[in-house]
Structure 1
């Protein structure tokens, strides 16, 4: 697989890195015949996005969760409503074009087309040998690409080193065996194993159905046998039920005879029962009448007692109401007393309020005066500090003026020492000219000294005046603090007196209210000292007592009258002969009904035993049939289980742990040899690797596995690749990955033509990075690869490439185009 050109439209990495919505790379023009092609540029420039898209599979390997296309979605990596990837690539002399359209405009959809150029250069959809046509569906597209390049897992493991890619040492045993089986071309064995597994699944499904049928037969057999046992000994049951039926018939006839005798006796006693019924009726009527009369008298007495209770309640209510009024007035009096506790303080505050306010006003005036003195002190201090600073400035200026005057005097003195004085050269002597200039400037310098002396005296005088004022006002801050404290005390006292004086109206109202309460309490106390029951209450109580006495006498008289009449009726009933026992006849009838029911039950039980005998014969026949069917099912299950064992053995033989494992064992030394050749050619003789496919478990038994062991020639020790340092582990892993690619090209005839790597050298030191580049060239030479496209953040490695595609240049061009567009 040899990429020729790539066009990306709407990819987030290109827009964020280059500021472009679309990018086209013509690798034939940019790289030519270069073997090592580097993608360079600053971080975030879109290098990984471009490298991930230089292969035809539907994934970005550096951003995918899985090695193949199943763990990736384009929708999170595009920004336009309709984005596109267009890749033209060469494979085995045939020219292909992958066109992928990602729509993300509310309804997500992805169309993927794979075209092949015909002899005339026109693009036509790829057609597989089985008739599958690339029709834009992603599933069809994946089938077409895998038919041309093999599985995505093998491609990304051997030919594409993406960022964050798992190392071979991290692969599970099943994953590495699947990969190596694809490398060794053992897919046909795996397919046969899958077919055998399908047969095993069908046999297991059939076996489950047979076992369910057998379990159903066992359940039916147990049910029939339980039902057979539940029937018991049919012959003994038939004899027992026959005897029970004869006994029930005998009992029924005896009970019928007894009932006939009792009915004859009942007819003889019917006349006496009529008189007895009449007397009982009269007795019941007398009892009812007497009860009504007595209840009427009791109701009248109850009404009088209720009348008395209402009287007592009225009296108790009046007492409770008066007690509640007393409590309320007492509570109000205590509240008034609480308010009047402050009466003296309120009256005193009213008398002294005006004096406190005048004192507070005078102290506020003193406070204002003290604040004025503090402000005056601050002003004097500022003026004194300003004069002091001015004095220092005058002294510095005076010193400078004195030094200048001395310098002018020295320069003027040179007129007597210059040898050219009085000669023709004195007009040209610069030293003499300088001396004369000093002579001109000396009066001004002396005048400045005199002026500064006068200014200094004035400033010293002002400084003395300010110092005198400062001493006079030195105690102003303490006086201000004292005045503030006294003013605060006077203000608080006036405020407190004002609040108390404001309560004078409340005190007056409370005094009035307390006098009213005292009068009400006196009135209630006087009323409570009198008799709580009025005259009409006493009269009503006397009337109720007389009515209750009359009702009690009437109750005694009526009770005596009705008791005498009831005694006469009881004597008449006692004189009659004993009554016929009415319970005997119903009991005899119930006994006859029970005897008839017992006979019917015995008849039914006898018929049921006969039916059970017939059921027993049918159960015996069904049990024989189920036993025969169960034996046939057991024979079929045994036959299927034997076949299932054979097919399971065949599945194991055709799986990863069978013929494929043997082929991997044979290929292990060849892979290790290729990896060691790469290590020797690029890194030196220090490290050699070996692939171990049989590992020992905790019990000391050998089992299928995959371990990469590395022998260190310097230390003479061997260890697993997981125990090496980060840089050494990356080095060994890359050699193994490239060895896989070499083995794939040498033994299976599948050569991708181009290798890809994305910052695989990150953990290597500078020396190892250069060796890493040597390994890349060795892989290209041994495997017959045409090119490797790589990304490295090491400028030295990028410079060692045969061609460099600088994405920073694309960014600069994009910025220039944008600037021109803004100018236009």
Structure 2
């Protein structure tokens, strides 16, 4: 075992180790540390420490840091019980562009994982993987030539090729919060995991290829069977068609005999028609002449009807022209009368305007004087109005002063009452019983009398001031009353002045209107002469007709006469033509009876139809016979295809059985199951060694890969049986208590890690554990830490990062990364 430990240590020194981590825009860091970005230089922080604790109070972001110390695109504590369930980074970032940058070492090489999460608008994730070389960082190139180009699929493929598949990593070396224990894994899941641990991926791939061949063979077999089914259906259909064509040869013989008989009847009917036609040949010319004469009579009638219709259409047009002429004459007479009446009316109106010439001239001469009179009256009205305004103001002053006197009287009365009360109170001084006694300083009545004495002078002064104010106000009232008495006379003078102003303004407006009509009077005098001259040229009544109108009326009468004459002429021509044709028809011999000829023709037509039907029946019978022969040949071909399809289906079924057996042998229940059975003891030995080194000889484990069903038959299964030496009992790991299950499950997990590094060459140099010690009591927590160091020793791991809520366990670490000092008020990074 020591040689195995040394070998594991040698390979694990170059295993996976995180060197630095930078997180930007993660909600857990902002919530816990109040920062948008955190950078951890793990290479400097860890050094040569083996157990590294990530410490801090609840909510400081410990799990966020732990979940990002690996290059896989998942935060396992947020992704379900197995760490690989449904997960989205977008639920854990808040910036429009958040990033994760992890620098790690594996296999003696440095790699840098750069994850960019964009949520501004359309969500997009870019994942880059770089390898450090001579010139610097360069994109990783996989064995098949694929270059890491930022696509998520390419990145995941590259990480799995360099390290291991994600499920193997999170099952063996990474224990996240709420991780599902191995005892909860299903049979297929644990076999897939163990197959990866045993390096059976090639076997699984070959099994997948065999399964793909089986799938293709099944698809091909389905196609072959479909072809066979179609061949069988075609054969059945062809047989049905042959059954329907049974007796085609006999039908062809009968149809041929019928065709020969109908052909003979047709020849006899044609000979009879030729004889009848020869008899009627002589009378054909007579019938042609009779038909020609009938056509000529018909054409004569049609020509007469067409000409008569054309001429009858001409008469309404002539009537319309005559009506239009009458309307134009009436409109001309009406226009003449309206124009003469309008001239008379305009001359009368213009004469009335021209008579204003003298009035306009007088108004123009008096306009300036009238304007001066209006200005003079306006000035008088202004002065009178100003005087009235002064008197109105005096009236308002009179009202205000009278109110002021009333207010002074009320105030003087109040002061007089107050003065009388003060004199009464002061007069009590000599009547107070305690006057001259020792207690007079404490007498309230005596004090009140002395206060009244002090207030008497101020009351006298207030009365004197009010009397002076009242005298001044009464003087102003007398002056205002004198002015108010003169207000009615001044108001009457102002009203007279305003009436006079209104009279002279009205006179000025009349003069201005007359002056404004000067040009109108001049134009009226000039227009009267023109209208008088035009009126003199117009007669009293308009002429009944003009020369043009008389000429048009004559032309209309002549056209009507021509139409009547043409109608009479074409009627005479038609009657003469019909008389001549009737005389010629009477000279022709009577027509022959055409019944015999029609009968012969009908016989020929009937025989022709019968012959055609017989030929068609013979053709149809011949086609049926040829169709029957073709179907016989087709049935033979279909039978050959059916046999070939049956043979092909048999070959495919044989191949399918062979490949199905191969696929089953290379599946989880075949060779892989056998290899897992062989690896079970080794796996159990590693777990038992860890249990013995850390917890003593109480518990030992046994890996069960097969079980017996109800019929006593073996079936593939997976279970872990725990043997308890203290209680001398054995039971499944699923039935062990919670605390015991924690450290047993941790031993199993780390046994997988040891098997991974020692038996498969997978170099994972760092372990991760997040709050896996929760259900343990204090004693077993310390044993739990001892197991961690034993795993590091046995597996040759460089270090383990762990998170624990137990301060004692955190204090047992070789190095502590305390997130409390990395808040927004702390340093940028911890050295």
TM-score class, shorter: 0.5 to 0.7
TM-score, structure 1 as length reference = 0.54
Cα offset for 1:79? 0.8
1:232 aligned to which of 236, 246, 249: 246
Q: Does 1:763 align with 2:775?
A: yes
Relative distance call for 1:191 and 1:247 in structure 2 (3 A) is same
Q: Distance in 1 between matches of 2:719 and 2:254?
A: 84
Deviates more, 1:229-238 or 1:158-167: 229-238
1:35 aligned to which of 42, 46, 50: 50
Preserved contact between residue 57 and residue 69 of structure 1 (Cα < 8 Å): no
1:482-503: CA deviation from partner (whole Å, max 9, x where unpaired): xxxxxxxxxxxxxxxxxxxxxx
Relative distance call for 1:678 and 1:609 in structure 2 (3 A) is same
> Paired residue for 1:151?
165
Q: Distance in 2 between matches of 1:150 and 1:11?
A: 26
1:487-526: CA deviation from partner (whole Å, max 9, x where unpaired): xxxxxxxxxxxxxxxxxxxxxxxxxxxxxxxxxxxxxxxx
2:746 aligned to which of 734, 753, 771: 734
Preserved contact between residue 771 and residue 803 of structure 2 (Cα < 8 Å): yes
Relative distance call for 1:617 and 1:796 in structure 2 (3 A) is same
2:76 aligned to which of 48, 55, 61: 61
> Paired residue for 2:785?
773
1:92 aligned to which of 78, 102, 107: 107
1:242-294: CA deviation from partner (whole Å, max 9, x where unpaired): 99999999xxxxxxxxxxxxxxxxxxxxxxxxxxxxxxxxxxxxxxxxxxxxx
Secondary structure of the 2:54 match is strand
TM-score, structure 2 as length reference = 0.54
> Paired residue for 1:723?
735
Cα offset for 1:117? 2.3
Q: Does 1:165 align with 2:164?
A: no
1:129 aligned to which of 125, 132, 143: 143
> Paired residue for 2:430?
none
Deviates more, 1:195-204 or 1:90-99: 195-204
> Paired residue for 2:188?
174
Q: Distance in 2 between matches of 1:68 and 1:627?
A: 61
Q: Distance in 1 between matches of 2:44 and 2:623?
A: 103
Cα offset for 1:195? 2.5
Relative distance call for 1:617 and 1:800 in structure 2 (3 A) is same
Cα offset for 1:601? 8.2
Q: Does 1:17 align with 2:32?
A: yes
Mark the structure with the bigger radius of gyration: 2
Secondary structure of the 1:188 match is helix
1:666-717: CA deviation from partner (whole Å, max 9, x where unpaired): 1011011111111122222222211111122343322222122222223322
Secondary structure of the 2:810 match is helix
1:537-564: CA deviation from partner (whole Å, max 9, x where unpaired): xxxxxxxxxxxxxxxxxxxxxxxxxxxx
Cα offset for 1:196? 2.4
1:189-229: CA deviation from partner (whole Å, max 9, x where unpaired): 22222232333333333322222222221121111111112
Q: Distance in 1 between matches of 2:167 and 2:123?
A: 26
1:103 aligned to which of 109, 118, 122: 118
Q: Does 1:185 align with 2:199?
A: yes
Preserved contact between residue 67 and residue 152 of structure 1 (Cα < 8 Å): no
Cα offset for 1:131? 2.4
Give the 5 Å matches for 1:503-652. Answer: 608-652=620-664
Secondary structure of the 2:100 match is strand
Preserved contact between residue 77 and residue 83 of structure 2 (Cα < 8 Å): no
2:795 aligned to which of 783, 789, 800: 783
Q: Distance in 2 between matches of 1:90 and 1:817?
A: 26
Q: Distance in 1 between matches of 2:827 and 2:193?
A: 48
Preserved contact between residue 53 and residue 816 of structure 2 (Cα < 8 Å): yes
> Paired residue for 1:83?
98
> Paired residue for 1:406?
none
> Paired residue for 1:138?
152
Identify unmatched segments of 5+ residues in structure 1.
250-592, 819-824
Cα offset for 1:232? 3.3
Preserved contact between residue 58 and residue 69 of structure 1 (Cα < 8 Å): no
Q: Distance in 1 between matches of 2:805 and 2:762?
A: 31
Q: Distance in 1 between matches of 2:247 and 2:255?
A: 12
Give the 5 Å matches for 1:127-526. Answer: 127-234=141-248
> Paired residue for 1:675?
687
Q: Distance in 1 between matches of 2:827 and 2:141?
A: 43
> Paired residue for 1:454?
none
> Paired residue for 1:714?
726
1:781-805: CA deviation from partner (whole Å, max 9, x where unpaired): 1111111111111222112211221
Secondary structure of the 1:710 match is strand
Secondary structure of the 1:79 match is coil
Deviates more, 1:80-89 or 1:717-726: 717-726
Cα offset for 1:737? 0.9
Q: Does 1:26 align with 2:28?
A: no
Q: Distance in 2 between matches of 1:48 and 1:20?
A: 16
Q: Distance in 2 between matches of 1:198 and 1:655?
A: 12
> Paired residue for 2:758?
746
Preserved contact between residue 81 and residue 178 of structure 2 (Cα < 8 Å): no
> Paired residue for 2:292?
none
Q: Distance in 2 between matches of 1:685 and 1:162?
A: 28
Cα offset for 1:77? 0.8
Preserved contact between residue 75 and residue 83 of structure 2 (Cα < 8 Å): no
Cα offset for 1:119? 4.9
Q: Distance in 1 between matches of 2:616 and 2:192?
A: 77
1:700 aligned to which of 709, 712, 718: 712
Cα offset for 1:594? 13
Q: Distance in 2 between matches of 1:731 and 1:97?
A: 34
Q: Distance in 2 between matches of 1:12 and 1:747?
A: 40
Relative distance call for 1:91 and 1:599 in structure 2 (3 A) is same
Cα offset for 1:780? 0.7
Secondary structure of the 1:175 match is helix
Preserved contact between residue 66 and residue 72 of structure 1 (Cα < 8 Å): no
Q: Distance in 1 between matches of 2:688 and 2:20?
A: 35
Cα offset for 1:235? 5.3
1:57-99: CA deviation from partner (whole Å, max 9, x where unpaired): 1111111248576732211111111111111112122222212
RMSD of equivalent CA atoms: 3.4
Identify unmatched segments of 5+ residues in structure 2.
1-15, 264-604
Preserved contact between residue 698 and residue 724 of structure 2 (Cα < 8 Å): yes
> Paired residue for 1:535?
none
1:393-451: CA deviation from partner (whole Å, max 9, x where unpaired): xxxxxxxxxxxxxxxxxxxxxxxxxxxxxxxxxxxxxxxxxxxxxxxxxxxxxxxxxxx
Q: Distance in 2 between matches of 1:816 and 1:755?
A: 29
Q: Distance in 1 between matches of 2:607 and 2:222?
A: 59
1:587-627: CA deviation from partner (whole Å, max 9, x where unpaired): xxxxxx99999999898666544432222111111000110
Secondary structure of the 2:230 match is helix
Preserved contact between residue 68 and residue 152 of structure 1 (Cα < 8 Å): no
> Paired residue for 1:49?
64
Preserved contact between residue 83 and residue 179 of structure 2 (Cα < 8 Å): no
Secondary structure of the 2:74 match is coil
Relative distance call for 1:770 and 1:603 in structure 2 (3 A) is same
Cα offset for 1:13? 0.4
> Paired residue for 2:353?
none
Which has the bigger relative contact order, CA under 8 A and spacing at least 6?
2
